[in-house]
Amino acid sequence: MTSTPPPAFTTRPTLQGTFGMSASTHWLATASAQAVLERGGNAFDAAVAGAFVLHVVEPPLTGPGGDMTGVLPPAGEPARPVVLMGQGPAPAAATREHYLAEGLELVPGAGALAAAVPAAVDAWLVLLRDRGTWELGGVLAFAVRYARDGPPIVGRVGAPITAVADLFTEHWPTSAALWMPDGRPPREGEIIRNEAYARVLDSLVHAGTQDDGATRTERIDAARLAWRTGTVARAAVEFSRTPHRHSSGLDHAGVIELEDFAGFEAGYEEATTLEFRGHTIAKTGPWGQGPALLQTLAILDGFDDEHLDPSTALGAHTILEAQKLAIADREAYYGDADVPMGHLLSPEYASERRALITETASHEFRPGTVPGHEPFVPPLRTAYTPPALADGSGFAGAGEPTVSRSGETRGDTCHIDVVDSAGNMVSATPSGGWLQSSPPIPELGFCLGSRLQMTWLEDGAPSTLTPGRRPRTTLTPTLILKDGRPAVALGSPGGDQQDQWQLLYLLRTIVGGYTPQQAIDAPSLHTTSIPGSFWPRTWEAGGAVVEDRLGEDVINDLERRGHVITRAGDWALGRLSSVTRDHETGVLSAAANPRGAQGYAAGR
């Protein structure tokens, strides 16, 4: 990329050191993770501590009733990266027949019918048990203190509560009690305490102290068992049985049962990988959207560098078109099912898809042809109103609080990356259980998630709602290996945009020579010419959202090529963070997103 040199200006430096680095979407989580490193913990101890803090300080973006995925370096042989799988499945009673009988056309975006089995807490405890070194009490102490004493609320918390204040006061009284204690949304800097959640965390630590002769592993497993079979499960199941307002505009009861909680355990899976310009990119399996990034890279790898610069019209156009093709395959083939990833990532298939990219923007939904597989074509709605709200009455609630079609950022998800001097590294994206997901359970101080909205009620799709199957999540952290060794941990919130924004970072650092902070600060863009993963699951044919800093000439050129452009403002898209390790020098680095003035990196 010689046409557009890396910018000299960055909002902050790329941090460098040799001791340890942390980066996340909230400074308190970053500071907590770094404090663990400073006290002798490793990267995995630090990531777990930071993640539980995120549950407390970013409740519109993540919660203990939600889910997470992480990508980790190899542990022993074979030397392949692994995925920490914290995505719960659909409950046993979550059948499409039941949902259709409830009068639904889509799985709701808010309410207990949208809840998969909560999985994040168990996944974090599995990571602590297997790769961490600290005791559970020490790791959870940071989150317990913030829950009990209350963190100062950032503006991003008050804004979404304001947006759903009528829903809270009219239909979700437990939400109003927790998040509107004075009958109004909290102002920036106010303290919101969550004593109920502090007691939940204390109970997990207590569960591991009942046997004086237990090992560290047994103590953590005791906490996991308490989570799955104790007060948390009982309170959540009992509370969800009472009908409450969903985004359908109707009141429904949840279907999750004690057996669903007890039957789920987080674990590990082999990562899906692709070689790109001398680097190994590791992602989740196709039960997540991660392989769509790999498919996009495979398509782009056949172009020269001139086509891979997101800061030029040619590069931006090529990238947007490649993303549309890869994400169409995501819709057509991905799910917790038999997915032909070998074919979808093959050079031959990438060449076929590459040939579809022309000088003009496509406004079509174009999945590829895979022998022996019929592509699923989802409903391509440009708008959707639930039948119960067709008369314009009522308040439906929302799906994921993510980046809107206009480019406005209402919130989304969280991310955390940590690396230590020993080379331990983790990239993890926790999400779900947002305060907009469903009413909080009073005894627990948190709500269930709404990840099932990513499943279809149409029959025959690889992501059709099916009991015991995982919804196809958008959570998609990235690990990059160089010469078989972990070099970069990277990720971003953003729903369907997560891999799109990460792609720009990969192209700018691997091909363009940008530093991590330069890549994060550079102007961003993404396509909306894809069926959304979140309720109400609409799309905008040919749509593309860009930051104005991309420049008038580039934006005008994209419009001439047929892209339907939405300008998002100068600093609106992406909440990336990353950490790196140079294995030749031992130098570590960290970088975080300046947009929203909330993400921070720390280290030394």
Q: What is the CATH number of the domain that holds 78?
A: 3.60.20.40
Do 525 and 441 share a structural domain? yes
Percent of the chain with pLDDT over 70: 95
274-329 per-position pLDDT tens digit: 999 999 999 999 999 999 999 999 999 999 999 999 999 999 999 999 999 999 99
Question: Which of 191, 207, 241 finishes a domain?
Answer: 191
Of 340, 295, 289, 282, the closest CA to residue 322 belongs to 295
Residue 378 resides in a domain? no
Do 135 and 53 share a structural domain? yes
Residue 490 resides in a domain? yes
* pLDDT reading at 409 higher than 80: no
Mean pLDDT score, 215-228: 98
96-107 per-position pLDDT tens digit: 999 999 999 999
* pLDDT reading at 377 higher than 50: yes
Q: What pLDDT does 52 receive?
A: 98
* pLDDT reading at 568 higher than 90: yes
Do 209 and 116 share a structural domain? yes
* pLDDT reading at 396 higher than 70: no
163-172 CB contacts, 8 Å cutoff, 24+ apart: 163/398, 163/410, 164/395, 164/397, 164/398, 164/436, 166/395, 167/245, 167/395, 167/397, 170/245, 170/395, 171/244, 171/245, 171/251, 171/395, 172/244, 172/245, 172/438, 172/439
SS3 category, 361: coil
Question: Which of 332, 354, 376 finishes a domain?
Answer: 354
Q: What pLDDT does 71 receive?
A: 98
Residues 6+ apart with CB under 8 A from 451: 66, 67, 87, 88, 114, 115, 116, 432, 471, 473
Please, which pLDDT band fits residue 429 given cuts at 50, 70 and 90? very high
Question: Which of 172, 191, 210 finishes a domain?
Answer: 191
* pLDDT reading at 390 higher than 90: no
More confident residue, 182 or 521: 521
DSSP state of 187: P
163 CA to centre of own chain: 22
Domain tally, the chain: 3
Tokens standing for residue 535: 């309720």
Give the integer Cα–Cα distance in Å for 119 and 121: 6
Please, which pLDDT band fits residue 51 given cuts at 50, 70 and 90? very high
* pLDDT reading at 2 higher than 90: no
Residue 380 resides in a domain? no
Do 338 and 219 share a structural domain? no
Do 585 and 439 share a structural domain? yes
Do 164 and 256 share a structural domain? no
* pLDDT reading at 8 higher than 90: no
Q: What pLDDT does 218 receive?
A: 97
Please, which pLDDT band fits residue 423 given cuts at 50, 70 and 90? very high
Residue 365 resides in a domain? no
Please, which pLDDT band fits residue 77 given cuts at 50, 70 and 90? low
Residue 504 resides in a domain? yes
Do 493 and 417 share a structural domain? yes
Q: What pLDDT does 79 receive?
A: 74
For CA atoms 489, 12, 53, 411, give the dihedral sign.
negative
Can you spell out the DSSP letters for 282-343? Answer: EE--TTBSHHHHHHHHHHHTTS-GGGG-TTSHHHHHHHHHHHHHHHHHHHHH-SSS---HHH
Do 340 and 487 share a structural domain? no
Q: What pLDDT does 395 receive?
A: 54
Q: Partners of 244 in the beta sheet? A: 252
Can you spell out the DSSP letters for 227-256? Answer: HHHSHHHHHHHHHHTS-EE-TTSSEE----
Phi and psi dihedrals of 501, rounded to 5?
-75, -35
Do 493 and 456 share a structural domain? yes
Q: What pLDDT does 86 receive?
A: 98
514-541 per-position pLDDT tens digit: 999 999 999 999 999 999 999 999 999 9
**Polymer length of the chain:** 604
Please, which pLDDT band fits residue 421 given cuts at 50, 70 and 90? very high
Please, which pLDDT band fits residue 9 given cuts at 50, 70 and 90? confident
457-493 per-position pLDDT tens digit: 999 999 999 999 999 999 999 999 999 999 999 999 9
- Is-cis flag, bond preceding 486, omega within 30? no
Mean pLDDT score, 60-80: 88
Residue 382 resides in a domain? no
Residue 276 resides in a domain? no
Mean pLDDT score, 507-513: 97
Mean pLDDT score, 384-407: 62
Do 125 and 168 share a structural domain? no
Amino acid at 139: V
Residue 460 resides in a domain? yes
Do 198 and 182 share a structural domain? no
Question: DSSP alpha helices (H): ranges in 19-119?
Answer: 27-38, 43-57, 96-101
Q: What pLDDT does 411 receive?
A: 47
Q: What is the H or E stretch that residue 170 is in?
A: helix 165-170
Range(s) of the domain holding residue 179: 159-191
Mean pLDDT score, 328-354: 98
Do 492 and 455 share a structural domain? yes
CATH assignment of the domain containing 298: 1.10.246.130
